[in-house]
Amino acid sequence: VQFLASVLPPGTDPAFFEHLRALDCSEVTVRALPEGSLAFPGVPLLQVSGPLLVVQLLETPLLCLVSYASLVATNAARLRLIAGPEKRLLEMGLRRAQGPDGGLTASTYSYLGGFDSSSNVLAGQLRGVPVAGTLAHSFVTSFSGSEVPPDPMLAPAAGEGPGVDLAAKAQVWLEHVCAHLGLGVQEPHPGERAAFVAYALAFPRAFQGLLDSYSMRRSGLPNFLAVALALGELGYRAVGVRLDSGDLLQQAQEIRKVFRAAAAQFQVPWLESVPIAVSNNIDEEALARLAQEGSEVNVIGIGTSAVTCPQQPSLGCVYKLVAVGGQPRMKLTEDPEKQTLPGSKAAFRLLGSDGSLLMDVLQLAEEPAPQAGQELRVWPPGAQEPCTVRPAQVEPLLRLCFQQGQLCEPLPSLAESRALVQLSLSQLSPEHRRLQSPAQYQVVLSERLQALVNSLRAGASP
Amino acid sequence: VQFLASVLPPGTDPAFFEHLRALDCSEVTVRALPEGSLAFPGVPLLQVSGPLLVVQLLETPLLCLVSYASLVATNAARLRLIAGPEKRLLEMGLRRAQGPDGGLTASTYSYLGGFDSSSNVLAGQLRGVPVAGTLAHSFVTSFSGSEVPPDPMLAPAAGEGPGVDLAAKAQVWLEHVCAHLGLGVQEPHPGERAAFVAYALAFPRAFQGLLDSYSMRRSGLPNFLAVALALGELGYRAVGVRLDSGDLLQQAQEIRKVFRAAAAQFQVPWLESVPIAVSNNIDEEALARLAQEGSEVNVIGIGTSAVTCPQQPSLGCVYKLVAVGGQPRMKLTEDPEKQTLPGSKAAFRLLGSDGSLLMDVLQLAEEPAPQAGQELRVWPPGAQEPCTVRPAQVEPLLRLCFQQGQLCEPLPSLAESRALVQLSLSQLSPEHRRLQSPAQYQVVLSERLQALVNSLRAGASP
């Protein structure tokens, strides 16, 4: 307030600043779609009512908090639809976010939209998002191979028997692996192998290899196999490999083939199914390729595309005045798209007898709710005539969630909202769900709402 | 650390967590390009040295803080180049940012890159960005016209003489204006006029009109003129109008024509030059049109395009290990673009005798700096042979800015960094500065750095 007083024109009434200091949200009421709901254009995400000045001040904060979160969740849900249910999707976009705050929102809502985990540790701590990650190229390239591990001895997984020198054991395995792969034993980079050994000594039950710091075929893969087989002898199983460059699908196929051959050759069946993770600027198109039938990729790390939503980097949510003192208001502007629907409204989702979504209907708040099994006359957008629909089920969409300065019910957990996303998507018909040229889901108006729009448009006084 | 311990594999050495707790940046040294510098691909923005584990932990935070800020500043500089020096550029993208934090960065770095002001009040308070704004549609549409202002009396600007009823005065002017424009006096929306009167009563020295809540031509413009002329009679001058829909350029031309005609008709010369502000999803293409010769637009508000940089929503900064214990490191990967330049480096900008930028040169930190007037042999990227250059001036690019836990020199003010952007851009040749198919500015390697790259590439031990 003090800052505002310093930038507003001199002579601004001091009582205004006193008024600002006294404001709070105790008279604000918020109705909202539950977190994780499917929202279609025209249906309010939030309905805010309260003293005019207070709810006007809430415009930018609410848009700022809702728009990006909804964009990221929608984008994540698209990526999940493309990936299919089996692939593990890892969000790793913090470095491309608009600061730590943007990164936290991106991680939270990517998970809500259908990702499995995030590399953002703070999102794990603050929001309960499962955290996951691999190792960094800088970790691998920081080793030259001349390092001596502080303690190269590793005890067997079962905890019994003497420890063995893992570095020495990996060196022995390297010879077998190179012979099997037809490589010279000098070809794999010794620094990369030293990095893998160090990682395996620290995390013997979570060993993974990053294969492309030097050459995947001639260095990363044989070094990984040498260390994984050495660990395997002690009863530990490697948990994965990662690729971060080149043709990811093609290399994954190649790596899986090598895993299968080596599993047979060295009689370690578990090696066949070591998960292959990939990353490197993966967008929707690249993801579709990685998710295709027969792909050997198991885990897909997505950073930039998850966080910046490059196909549509912003969601154009708006916050519009629809009623003052119970009187409906409508913005009649030069752009038909910028016109608003007047009045305080209720929203319902109509479902068919098979549970599929038929359409959403907007009506005035004071109208009775549509009844299951009863015929309803509604106006599709731009229609010249109403049409009729007989829903088998009717679901109210907006819930009272904030009143008199208090939450009205406990917020759902992130996992509950995440489950709601997938459940809701499953109710959507394939034509509406497909990502290329989807059929438009209808949001229709009740007859009374349509009549109000018509009367305000006709220029009757608002 | 406690949370990390809860998610890392059981059996992780407890000493590791103790080690993490004891970490700080007291042994970290940072060199950087000064804020607001021109940075070309390949030249380090930051050089970070210190204990390996600490500088590895800094990777994501530094990328997160640097990438988006640099992206926004670059984007803003592009928008300023398109707009030319005269148009006022207002950043208003908070609602499209990745949360309040992202919005603060967007406002700060839009200003640094060449915008004049921001609608983000917090950026004004915390970062000293000049704040500006107009009025909201919801403010205008909240009035029906039946409201009674708490006090409609306004004293003259000079402070002498009796106050007058501004609402009544505006009503009188409305008749003159409508007659002049050939409109019926009932056509302009009474609620819009009441909103303008209320705004003018609150801010008589900063009155502006938002013209498109109903119809610009039949309502917004005549209502604005009525209130502005009423205020003008009392010695106050309106400060602007804003348009937020429709063909902005065309409407601005029309409005200016009306302002000129009304200025002549009513003998109020100041009305001719009332600034016209526009907004509404303005991107680079729309901006170019609004900035063309003869445009009557004065102020351009840009939100989404400033904040989300839709042409390229992320800047692919990377943080790479280049040396360990004085030994150079290089990532040799399947993607040539992902290869790194090894070793600790220095960077210099070579200028011609006319002060224009010739090229940037990267060399090993231990090499002597290039000397003005002396011939230098350098390797352009991908060249088969070196070329020679004789710079008239040589500027070191990286400055020591953080050492032993302390800043080494005071940070420049935002205004200083903003001035550096414009100064640096003015030194760039038009071929390099143009936004469509610019000539590529060369970043070359010294002979010794090129030799090191060659030797590491040849597979000599790293």
What is the CATH number for B170?
A: 3.20.20.70
Task: Looking at the structure, tell me whether residues B41 and B124 fall in a common domain.
Answer: no
pLDDT of residue B335: 65
Task: Looking at the structure, tell me whether residues A131 and A234 fall in a common domain.
Answer: yes
Contact flag A105-B99 (C-beta cutoff 8 Å): yes
Task: Looking at the structure, tell me whether residues B128 and B191 fall in a common domain.
Answer: yes
The Cα A10–Cα B204 span in angstroms is 10
Mutating which of A141, A186, A234 best tests the B interface, going by the most B Cβ atoms within 10 A?
Answer: A141
Output Rg (C-alpha) for chain B, integer angstroms: 29
A449 close contact with B: CB closer than 8 A: no
B457 close contact with A: CB closer than 8 A: no
pLDDT of residue A98: 87
What is the CATH number for B415?
A: 3.20.140.10
- A271: tokens are 């090696």
Task: Looking at the structure, tell me whether residues B86 and B32 fall in a common domain.
Answer: no
| pLDDT tens-digit map of B231-274 | 999 999 999 999 999 999 999 999 999 999 999 999 999 999 99
Measured between beta carbons, the chain A residues lying within 8 angstroms of B310 are: 313-314
Contact flag A61-B100 (C-beta cutoff 8 Å): yes
Task: Looking at the structure, tell me whether residues B281 and B355 fall in a common domain.
Answer: no
Range of lowest pLDDT (A410-414, A452-456, B13-17): A452-456
Mutating which of A2, A49, A62, A64 best tests the B interface, going by the most B Cβ atoms within 10 A?
Answer: A64
The structure tokens 């004071």 sit at A366
pLDDT of residue A462: 37
Task: Looking at the structure, tell me whether residues B302 and B324 fall in a common domain.
Answer: no
Measured between beta carbons, the chain A residues lying within 8 angstroms of B244 are: 333, 338
Contact flag A97-B102 (C-beta cutoff 8 Å): yes
Task: Looking at the structure, tell me whether residues A323 and A185 fall in a common domain.
Answer: no
> In the beta sheet, which residues pair with residue A302?
A91
Task: Looking at the structure, tell me whether residues A323 and A257 fall in a common domain.
Answer: no
Contact flag A68-B96 (C-beta cutoff 8 Å): yes
Judging by DSSP bridges, how do beta strands B299-302 and B88-91 pair with one another? parallel
pLDDT of residue A461: 44
CA torsion A104-B322-B406-B23 (nearest 10°) is 60
The Cα A407–Cα B139 span in angstroms is 28
Q: Cα-flanking dihedrals φ and ψ of residue B209, to 5°?
A: -120, 140
Contact A348, A361 (CB under 8 A): yes
| pLDDT tens-digit map of B270-301 | 999 999 999 999 999 999 999 999 999 999 99
> In the beta sheet, which residues pair with residue B403?
B406
* Mean pLDDT along residues A2-17: 92
Output Rg (C-alpha) for chain A, integer angstroms: 29
Query: Quick one: which H or E segment has residue B444?
Result: strand B443-446
**Of the residues B289, B306, B323, the one at which a domain ends:** B306
Judging by DSSP bridges, how do beta strands B153-154 and B164-165 pair with one another? antiparallel
pLDDT of residue A100: 83
CA torsion A275-A276-A280-A281 (nearest 10°) is -60
pLDDT of residue A273: 97
pLDDT of residue B274: 98
Mutating which of A98, A101, A119 best tests the B interface, going by the most B Cβ atoms within 10 A?
Answer: A98
A206 close contact with B: CB closer than 8 A: yes
Measured between beta carbons, the chain A residues lying within 8 angstroms of B121 are: 3-4, 7
CB contacts < 8 A (A, B): 230
Instruction: Return the closest-CA partner of residue A135 out of A210, A61, A67.
Output: A210
Half-sphere exposure of residue B323, counting CA atoms within 13 Å on the CB side? 16
**Of the residues A291, A306, A321, the one at which a domain ends:** A306
Structural domain that includes position B367: 1-73+313-459
Domain count, chain B: 2
Task: Looking at the structure, tell me whether residues B48 and B81 fall in a common domain.
Answer: no
Q: Where are the alpha helices (DSSP H) in A364-444?
A: 414-427, 430-433
Share of chain A above pLDDT 70, in %: 98
Contact flag A202-B13 (C-beta cutoff 8 Å): yes
Measured between beta carbons, the chain A residues lying within 8 angstroms of B330 are: 141
The Cα A308–Cα A312 span in angstroms is 8
Contact flag B142-A324 (C-beta cutoff 8 Å): yes
Q: Can you say whether the dihedral through the CA atoms of B175, B181, B182, B188 is positive or negative? A: negative
The Cα B330–Cα A137 span in angstroms is 10
Query: Quick one: which H or E segment has residue A153?
Result: strand A153-154
Is the per-residue pLDDT at A382 higher than 90?
Answer: no
Q: ∠B441-B445-B449 over CA atoms, to 5°?
A: 160
Residue A459 banded pLDDT, cuts 50, 70, 90: low
DSSP letters spanning B210-222: E--SS-IIIIIHH
| pLDDT tens-digit map of A109-162 | 999 999 999 999 999 999 999 999 989 988 998 999 998 888 899 999 998 888
Contact flag A64-B16 (C-beta cutoff 8 Å): no
- B347: tokens are 């960077």
Exposed, middle or buried: residue A354 (CB in 10 Å: 0-12, 13-18, 19+)? exposed
pLDDT of residue A335: 65
**Separation of first and last alpha carbons in chain B:** 34
Q: Can you say whether the dihedral through the CA atoms of A89, A92, A97, A99 is positive or negative? A: positive
Q: Cα-flanking dihedrals φ and ψ of residue A411, to 5°?
A: -70, 145
The structure tokens 């200028």 sit at B351
Task: Looking at the structure, tell me whether residues B151 and B109 fall in a common domain.
Answer: yes
Helix, strand and coil content of chain B, in percent to the nearest 5, comes to: 40, 15, 40
Instruction: Give chain B's residues under pLDDT 50.
Output: 460-462
Helices (H) and strands (E) in chain B — how many of each? 16, 20
Task: Looking at the structure, tell me whether residues A45 and A152 fall in a common domain.
Answer: no
Query: Quick one: which H or E segment has residue A73?
Result: helix A59-83
Q: Which amino acid is at B117?
A: S
Task: Looking at the structure, tell me whether residues B51 and B5 fall in a common domain.
Answer: yes
pLDDT of residue B427: 92
| pLDDT tens-digit map of B265-274 | 999 999 999 9
> In the beta sheet, which residues pair with residue B243?
B278
The Cα B299–Cα B307 span in angstroms is 18
pLDDT of residue A338: 67
A105 close contact with B: CB closer than 8 A: yes
Sequence-distant (≥ 6) Cβ neighbours of residue A268 within 8 angstroms = A229, A232, A262
**Of the residues A258, A283, A306, the one at which a domain ends:** A306
pLDDT of residue B457: 82
